[in-house]
Amino acid sequence: MTYKVALNGSRVLITGGASGLGRQMALQSAAKGAHVVIWDMNLEQAKNVVTEIKKAGGTAEAHQVDVTDRLAVNKLALKVGAVDVLFNNAGVVSGDWFLDLNPDSIERTYRVNVLSLYWMTQAFLPAMVQSGRGCVVTISSASGMLGVAKLTDYAASKFAAFGFMESLRSELRMKRSNVNTLTVCPHYIGTGMFDGVQTKFPWLLPILDEVKVAAKILRSVEKGKAMLVMPKFVHVIPVVRVLPIRAFDRITDFFGVNRTMDNFRGRK
């Protein structure tokens, strides 16, 4: 089986493609020769990205949609048609202590970060399976491998995204499908979404550059990879988990993991 998907000549759809990492993936996908479909709540910003792409000689289109609305997703999916690569990129974060979390914010986090994965993938995966090619990409997080203070809703939603993709990959493999899945687990990215976060050892766990992250994601799609973890140091998490839980806690405290959100501001 080959899981590689060439972006040149493909149709790609990016949720949350109007800003941040989504915008970078849109611009870089178009530069590689893909037709880019941007789904975002902010139609004006999405159209601005389309303009950028067209000025550079690419092709793109923008649509306003709430990816947590299953009926709206299905309706627009029929209009857009089949895509070769689906980037489940839309995400939100609250960044509060558990006891300070607003119930509405918790529900919003799960609707955007988890339930939208189901609605989007159910809408576009069948055509990929029928054609025998394609890739479903989901942006999880290093927080989907390690719970962090002040991220109880976000980390849990990213754990769910990780589990969703692992199960989906298993199902496709059991059905001997050539459709690939790519789970992306990055450390904090400097997109504005996590403004104010700090890292104790930036040479080991840097705030990632969105341009470089987008480029690595697209290369992983083209190479047919199933997992992308950034930076490489994050790979130690599953290894360290074999230790007793208190020893594991001491290691995460040493690296300042649970202090990263102390000065969190987020995107304003």
Catalytic residues: 154
C-alpha atoms less than 13 angstroms from C-alpha of 142 in its C-beta half-sphere: 22
SS3 173: helix
Q: Is 255 exposed, middle or buried (0-12, 13-18, 19+ CB in 10 A)?
A: middle
Q: Is 103 exposed, middle or buried (0-12, 13-18, 19+ CB in 10 A)?
A: exposed
Question: How far is CA 231 from its chain centroid?
Answer: 15
Question: How far is CA 180 from its chain centroid?
Answer: 15
Alpha carbon distance 88, 90 (integer Å): 6
CA angle 152, 221, 260 (to 5 degrees): 25
Alpha carbon distance 94, 264 (integer Å): 10
DSSP string, 151-163: -HHHHHHHHHHHH
SS3 168: helix
Give the largest Cα separation in the chain, rounded.
55
Alpha carbon distance 162, 129 (integer Å): 21
Structure tokens of 201? 């050892």
SS3 5: coil
